[in-house]
Amino acid sequence: MRGNSEFEIPYTGLGIGRHAFGFQLDGTFFSDFEPSGFDDADIAAETELDRFEGMMHFDVHVTGTVRSSCDRCNAPVTLSIDHRVRYVVKFGDKTYRNDDDILVLGPAEHLLDVRGFLYESTVLGMPLRRVHEMEDDCDPNVLQWLTGSVDCAPEEEQEQQEETDPRWAALRGLSSSEPKDEEDEESEE
């Protein structure tokens, strides 16, 4: 678990009990994660590491704003975040993270890299629907296109639609004709 030392906590030197840490997260921090889901951020992450004999609790509280793309119009939108989450860190024979979001640190580890926890806490704090609070703040051109009141097809595409290959026209004719009944076929003979 190696990374940016600004986001590493040397937990082996910490005594039993609670220890507070603060982190400032901006767009540069989130650019390391793909896909980040947002363009810029101003997040304050207040954390508390509660160390016990065989494990630790890592509590994260993220507050601030992120700039993302609006789900409705794709224009930039600023969203507020206020989210708390607790992670469990245990000590074991090897380092791994299980499906229950429990991080196990092996005996060779001496630093707790908290970047993943901070990123995950921020993403979990994002609203499911990222839209402008007022629909009037959305891009009016996109809203017109969504409602169908604007024809946004380029002229070239319209011309291509008008010029239909005769082979396709013949096939369209086949699909629109009704199948004949067997009785009709016999009467024609």
What pLDDT does residue 1 have?
A: 38
What pLDDT does residue 144 have?
A: 80
What pLDDT does residue 40 have?
A: 85
Whether 183 shows a pLDDT value over 60: the answer reads: no
Query: Amino acid letter at 173?
Result: G
What does the pLDDT average to over 64-80?
A: 89
Percent of the chain with pLDDT over 90: 37
Tell me the CA distances in angstroms from 20 to 60, 76, 82, 112, 148, one per residue in order: 10, 34, 18, 14, 54
SS3 state at 15: coil
Name the pLDDT band for 3 (thresholds 50, 70, 90). very low
pLDDT 10s digits, 13-61: 888 999 999 999 998 888 888 776 777 899 999 999 999 988 999 999 9
Q: Tell me what the pLDDT averaged over the chain comes to.
A: 82
Contacts of 148 (CB under 8 A, 6+ apart): none
* CA atoms of 65 and 108, how far apart (whole Å): 37
What pLDDT does residue 143 have?
A: 77
The helix (run of H) or strand (run of E) holding residue 33 is none
What does the pLDDT average to over 168-181?
A: 64
pLDDT 10s digits, 148-163: 776 555 555 555 556 6
* CA atoms of 52 and 102, how far apart (whole Å): 15
What pLDDT does residue 23 have?
A: 95
